[in-house]
Amino acid sequence: MNDAGGLRVRTREFLAAHPPATTAKTDFLRARFDAGLAWVHYPEGLGGVGAPRSLQTVVDAELAAAGAPGNDPRRIGIGLGMAAPTLLAHGSDDMKRRFLRPLWVGEEVWCQLFSEPGAGSDLAALATRAVRDGDDWIINGQKVWTSSAHVARWAILIARTDPDAPKHRGITYFVCDMSHPGVEVRPLRQITGEAEFNEVFLTDVRVPDAHRLGEVGDGWRVARTTLMNERVSIGGARVPREGGMIGPVAALWRDRPELRTHDLHQRLLTLWVEAEVARLAAERLRQGLAAGRPGPEGSAMKLAFARLNQEISGLEVELRGEEGLLYDDWTLRRPELVDFTGRDAGYRYLRAKGNSIEGGTSEILLNIVAERVLGLPSEPRDDKDVPWKDLNR
């Protein structure tokens, strides 16, 4: 039953038992998870049937043809793209059973408590402390640039548990309850005038040891699972031809001939080709994922995503001329979603500036591609074996 034909039959039988037109959305999604049709490559009982990842498209096509509701993946992207694969790889059986179903259904939103004011690009230098207290850990510190923290129920969090160890070896990975009274979320106003990001203050936050992922002190290895999946989810998302940023620009070029110039035409053609190459490379990357876990190649895709978004949005503003400078929504809003294509050109241009920072700065990703993809020598690191407490900060 784990081949394409078997999954097609399984999906049709599921639809017959749960007609989308008469089944409440949440009930439908819960039943889909329980039927193993959420992530077909996950184990049975955890939303899948242990089938190849590539066969998810078979299930999705049958569900789409039947008008089945989706789980709004953009709203729960951090949970789907980062928390879920990390829980699957490193979480206990109890954690998988507790968290994966409501995460996939969208009943619980997740956020990521990684970056800190003094540990952004150099994430391993983080200073948030977790101290053992019986069966709990008491966590104190500050996180920053946290998307969706203002609507999240749970967070993936890394904290320092051994300041005497070198910075990469004294970190532990936890699942944090965002409803704990010691968690304070404050908005960060961005260049767009909105506040989709947050800073999060943690004061004596208790996390049970049962919510630890991986061994004590092995959090950096666990975090790398999250980070590799994050870069794939940002840079390797499936889009149709002329999807993403290039779509509005290509449509504008066709619809507004009075805006066209030869120089802009050449730039549009170049960026259109590069966007298509990136789209096809992302498809290859997803095919590679069907055979195993994501590797450092996802960093290259995220690099391309950031550069293309910034260049394409800049071209659109230039193409529109004076009207491209219009951006009239400067009120402090708290959006749940980042919408690159549903807003005006001014928003896209401003918001794209963050693409080279979020999900790993472009400078760090260049190092990863150089060292782990191209096999170039590593940059000198004189702090690699120095205890964290002795580092200059």
pLDDT tens string 180-192? 999 999 999 888 8
Residues in the chain: 393
Q: Pairing relation of β-strands 183-188 and 110-113?
A: unpaired
pLDDT for position 3: 85
Backbone angles phi, psi at 183, to 5 degrees: -95, 120
Catalytic: 230? yes
Q: Quote the CA–CA distance of 358 and 310 in Å, as a whole number.
A: 13
pLDDT band for 329, please (50, 70, 90 cuts). Answer: low
Choice among 42-51, 193-202, 232-241, 243-252 with the minimum mean pLDDT: 232-241
How many percent of the chain have pLDDT more than 90? 60
Q: Is the pTM of this model over 0.85?
A: yes
Q: Quote the CA–CA distance of 278 and 270 in Å, as a whole number.
A: 12
What is the arithmetic mean of pLDDT over 68-83?
Answer: 93
pLDDT for position 101: 98
CB 155 within 8 A of CB 112: yes
What is the arithmetic mean of pLDDT over 366-392?
Answer: 84
Per-residue pLDDT reduced to its tens digit, 270-321: 999 999 998 888 877 766 655 555 567 777 888 888 999 999 999 999 999 8
Catalytic residue among 62, 116, 196, 230: 230
pLDDT for position 19: 97
Domains and CATH numbers, the chain: 4-65 (no CATH), 80-98+106-217 (2.40.110.10), 223-373 (1.20.140.10)
User: How is residue 53 written in tokens?
Assistant: 């990842």
Q: Pairing relation of β-strands 110-113 and 154-160?
A: parallel
Start-to-end CA span in the chain (Å): 56
Beta-strand runs (E) in the chain: 110-113, 129-133, 136-144, 154-160, 171-177, 183-188, 197-208, 212-213
How many Cβ atoms are within 10 Å of 31's Cβ, its own excluded? 15
pLDDT for position 324: 84
CB 96 within 8 A of CB 88: yes
Q: Helices 262-289 and 297-320, interaxial angle, to 10°?
A: 160
pLDDT for position 215: 97
Amino acid at 220: W
